[in-house]
Amino acid sequence: MTQKITAAITAIDAYLPPDKLTNFDLEKMVDTTDEWIRSRTGVIERRILKTPGLASSDMAAEAVKNLLEKKNIDPLSIEVVICATVTPDMVFPATANILSDKAGLKNAWGFDLSAACSGFLFGLQTGAALIESGRYKKVLVVGVDKMSSIIDYTDRNTCIIFGDGCGVVLLEPNYEGLGIIDCILKSDGAGRKHLHQKAGGSLKPASIETVTNKEHFVYQEGQPVFKAAVKGMADVSYEIMQRNHLTSDDVQWLVPHQANLRIIDATRERMGLPEEKVMVNIQRYGNTTAATIPLCMFDYESQLHKGDNIILASFGGGYTWGAIWVKWAY
C-alpha cells in the first residue's frame, strides 16, 4: 500500500523593512489620531520599504535567503516558488521569477498568485497539492506585499491600516499525517466593487488621467468590506472546525489575517477560543496583505509544538476568503 503524503510546513522565515510609520507620523499626514487608529483597527505602527529601487522581490529574496541559511538548505534544491502578491515588481515577468534570480533558486519554476489578503492561503493550498501529488519535494510559498507602493497617503480611510513585509514557508512531504489537513477556500468577484485598484490593468491602462485621478491607489469602502470580512472569516473558520469535529479545546492556535483587530475578535469568538490562542501582531506591522499569516507564524514559531492544530483564516480583496487546518510538523 502506498503511504499517504501530506504537505508539511518545515521552515518559516520573514523579512520586514526597517523603517517604521507610526500612528503619530500619520497624525501629521492626514486628519486622524493615534487613539482613533488604535481603537478602530489595533494598529500602532507599520513597516515601510523606503529605499528607492527596492520592490516586493527584494523583501521576498531576503526572507527566502534567511530561511535557506537558517535551515542550511541548498538553494538549488528548491523546485517550485509560489509568490502571492498584489504588488508585483512589474506586470511581467512574475515576481516569483525575479525573486528566484535574486535568491539563487536556479532550478525552480514558479509563478505569482493574485488573491489579495487570501493570497498566502491560496498559495499554501496550491503548494500542498503539488507536494501531495508526489511530484515535488521542496516548494516555497511566499506572501509578500509592498502596500506602500499602492497606498494614497492623503486618504485616511486606507493609509492607516496597510504596511509592507514578507513571510515565506517551505513545504515538504510528510508521512506522519502532519501538515495541511483540510482547506476551505472561497471567492466572490461581486465583492470587487468595494475593494480594488481602478487603473493599471487591461481595463484601464495607465494614462495621465488615471494618475491625476489617483486611480493607481487602493480603493476601499471600509464598512462593506468590514461587514463581509467579519462574516466570511468567522463562518469559514467555524465550518472547518465543525466538519473536522474540532472543538475549541482541540485547537491550539488561530492565525488570522491581520486587517483589523475587531475582525480578528469576531472570528475568535465564533470559534469559542480564548484570546491567548490567537496570533496577533497587527499592532506592529498593520495589514501587509499576503504577508500577514506567515509573518504571524514566524513571530510565534517558538511557541508552536509538533502536532498542534492551527487554523489559518483570511478575508480580503476579490472577495477571497478561506480557512486551512494545519497540524504543525516540528
Closer residue to ligand UT7, CB minimum distance, 190 or 208:
190
Q: Check residue 260 for interaction with ligand UT7 (CB under 6 A).
A: yes
Size of the site for ligand UT7 (CB under 6 A): 20
36: contact with ligand UT7 by CB under 6 A:
yes
Residue 316 CB, nearest approach to ligand UT7 (Å): 4
Query: According to CB under 6 A, which one of 229, 236, 280, 295 is a site residue for ligand UT7?
Result: 229
Region near ligand UT7 per CB under 6 A, out of 145-153, 199-207, 258-266, 320-328: 258-266
- Any contact of residue 156 with ligand UT7 (CB under 6 A)? yes
Smallest distance from ligand UT7 to CB 87, Å: 13
237 binds ligand UT7 (CB under 6 A): no
Instruction: Identify which of residues 10 and 320 has a Cβ nearer to ligand UT7 in the complex.
Output: 320
256 counts as binding ligand UT7 under rule CB under 6 A: no
- Residue nearest ligand UT7, CB atom distance: 222
225 sits near ligand UT7 (criterion: CB under 6 A): yes
| Binds ligand UT7 by CB under 6 A, chosen from 316, 320, 324, 329 | 316
From candidates 20, 32, 132, 270, binder to ligand UT7 by CB under 6 A: 32
Quickly tell me which residue has 464598512 as its cell: 223
Rounded Cα–Cα distance for residues 326 and 324 (Å): 6
Based on the shown chain and the rule CB under 6 A, indicate whether residue 87 belongs to the binding site for ligand UT7: no
Question: Contact between 233 and ligand UT7 (CB under 6 A)?
Answer: no
Binding piece for ligand UT7, criterion CB under 6 A, among 33-41, 236-244, 265-273, 321-329:
33-41
For the annotated catalytic residues, the residue numbers are 117, 257, 287
196, with CB counted inside 10 A (0-12, 13-18, 19+), is middle
Provide, rounded to whole angstroms, the least separation between the CB of residue 157 and ligand UT7. Answer: 5
Comparing CB distances to ligand UT7, the nearer of 110 and 256 is 256
SS (H, E, C) the chain: CCCCCEEEEEEEEEECCCCEEEHHHHHCCCCCCHHHHHHHHCCCEEECCCCCCCCHHHHHHHHHHHHHHHCCCCHHHCCEEEEECCCCCCCCCCHHHHHHHHHCCCCCEEEEECCHHHHHHHHHHHHHHHHHCCCCCCEEEEEEEEHHHCCCCCCCCCCCCECEEEEEEEEEEECCCCEEEEEEEEECHHHHHHEEECCCCCCCCCCHHHHHCCCCCEEECHHHHHHHHHHHHHHHHHHHHHHCCCCCCCCCEEEECCCCHHHHHHHHHHHCCCHHHECCCHHHHCECHHHHHHHHHHHCHHHCCCCCEEEEEEEECCCEEEEEEEECCC
| Binding status of residue 197 toward ligand UT7 by CB under 6 A | no
Contact pick of 120, 217, 219, 226 for ligand UT7 (by CB under 6 A) = 226
* Least distance to ligand UT7, CB of residue 59, Å: 18
CB neighbours of 304 closer than 8 A, spacing ≥ 6? 252, 253, 297, 310, 328, 330
Residues 39-58 that bind ligand UT7 (CB under 6 A): 40-41
Among 222, 238, 265, 283, interactor with ligand UT7 by CB under 6 A: 222
The interface region with ligand UT7, picked from 32-40, 168-176, 179-187, 274-282 by CB under 6 A, is 32-40
> How many other CB atoms are there within 10 angstroms of residue 178's CB atom?
20
Instruction: Please name the residues in contact with 309: beta carbons below 8 A apart, sequence gap of 6 or more.
Output: 246, 250, 251, 252, 253, 325, 326, 327
| Interface positions with ligand UT7 (CB under 6 A) | 32, 36, 40-41, 117, 156-157, 160-161, 222-223, 225-226, 229, 259-260, 263, 287, 316-317
